[in-house]
């Protein structure tokens, strides 16, 4: 913190939680715990299958494993603390825990947005350049694109978190949310926060508009290529390879635009909490379902793994 910050800056923060009704806390606890367990199971299964089944050693599943790894870390950065606060009367989080949560949460959120762009590029090459797919999407390029996503997310976190943590705090330390995120932290500040809000809006606009524009351009080209396919079966197969990713994109960016593109001091906080809950709990849980429900390759990998397990047993 800056010298102008409150001298008690290293004290714990109080997370106000999801709802103003304490009687609902146990219901939220059970629902979020179940969601978290499903998130761990679904994303861990995708990572495991992608590693163990040779037929899934493709760029598509390489990026999907990255997305699952990110979702696991994303939820783990906030849900355990949320469950602790819901379980008992203690709603505190240490200063170090709050800072760590802020940096990690922003890092992984930014990473997911960029990673979805890389997955859109992969689908573009698969549909529009099928004969050169294996040459273009070589392992070296895949690792490079993944590294860009993780480093880009880290840059997003460093910019937003650093600006936010330089703000001098008012006397109270009550964070009106269930996690330490930028809009809620800005509300704790004394004095003029217009620069911080401008940085928040600028960074959020950049990390939303630019990736989303690239994804939309990719899908415009994909749509043109699909329409040129003569057989209905070919068009259906090409469409199915992109549908799951497109649904995840709509969920992620829809929530991000609705939640973060609103002014930090004037937005409806209850609505902000709902959006935060959506992209920190619901989205990581449903992502594996979206990618596997209609995916014959994943279902086949599960069956082969179970068959192999029975043979070993």
Distance, CA of 119 to CA of 137 (rounded, Å): 11
Domains in the chain and their CATH numbers?
Answer: 21-312 (1.20.1070.10)
β-pairing verdict for 92-93 and 174-175: unpaired
Q: What pLDDT digit, counting tens, does each position of 186-241 carry?
A: 888 887 788 887 877 788 788 888 888 999 999 999 988 888 887 887 788 777 77
Distance, CA of 196 to CA of 1 (rounded, Å): 14
Sequence-ordered list of residues with C-beta below 8 angstroms from that of 83, at least 6 positions apart, any chain: 29, 32, 33, 36
Residues of the chain falling short of pLDDT 70:
1-10, 19-20, 171-172, 259-272, 293-294, 309-313
pTM: 0.85
DSSP state for residue 168 in the 8-state scheme: P
Two structure tokens written together for 45: 């299964």
CB count in 10 Å sphere of residue 265: 13
CA 2 from chain center: how many Å? 30
- Burial readout 188-221 (b: 16 or more C-beta within 10 A, e: otherwise): bbeeebeebbebbeebbeebbeebbebbeebbee
Distance, CA of 101 to CA of 78 (rounded, Å): 7
């Amino acid at each position: 913190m800056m010298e102008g910050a409150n001298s008690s800056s290293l004290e714990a923060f109080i997370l106000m939680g999801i709802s103003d009704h304490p009687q609902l806390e146990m219901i939220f606890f059970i629902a979020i715990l179940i969601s978290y367990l499903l998130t761990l199971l679904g994303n861990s299964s995708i990572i495991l299958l992608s590693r163990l089944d040779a037929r899934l050693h493709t760029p598509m599943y390489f990026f999907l494993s990255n997305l699952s790894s990110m979702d696991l870390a994303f939820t783990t950065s906030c849900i355990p603390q949320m469950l602790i606060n819901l379980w008992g009367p203690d709603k505190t989080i240490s200063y170090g825990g709050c800072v760590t949560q802020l940096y990690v949460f922003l890092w992984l959120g930014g990473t997911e947005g960029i990673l979805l762009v890389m997955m859109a590029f992969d689908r573009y090459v698969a549909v529009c350049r099928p004969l050169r797919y294996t040459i273009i999407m070589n392992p070296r390029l895949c690792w490079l694109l993944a590294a860009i996503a993780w480093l880009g997310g880290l840059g997003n976190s460093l910019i937003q978190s650093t600006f936010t943590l330089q703000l001098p705090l008012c006397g109270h330390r009550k964070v009106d949310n269930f996690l330490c995120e930028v809009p809620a932290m800005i509300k704790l500040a004394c004095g003029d926060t217009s620069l911080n809000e401008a940085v928040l809006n600028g960074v959020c606009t950049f990390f939303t508009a630019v990736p989303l524009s690239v994804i939309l351009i990719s899908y415009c080209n994909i749509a043109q290529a699909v329409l040129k396919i003569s057989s209905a079966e070919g068009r259906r197969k090409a469409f199915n390879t992109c549908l799951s990713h497109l649904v995840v994109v709509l969920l992620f960016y829809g929530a991000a635009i609705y939640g973060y593109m609103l002014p930090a001091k004037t937005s409806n906080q209850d609505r902000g909490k709902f959006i935060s809950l959506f992209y920190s709990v619901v989205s990581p849980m449903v992502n594996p379902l979206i990618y596997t429900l209609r995916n014959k390759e994943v279902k086949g990998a599960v069956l082969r793994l179970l068959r192999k397990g029975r043979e070993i047993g």
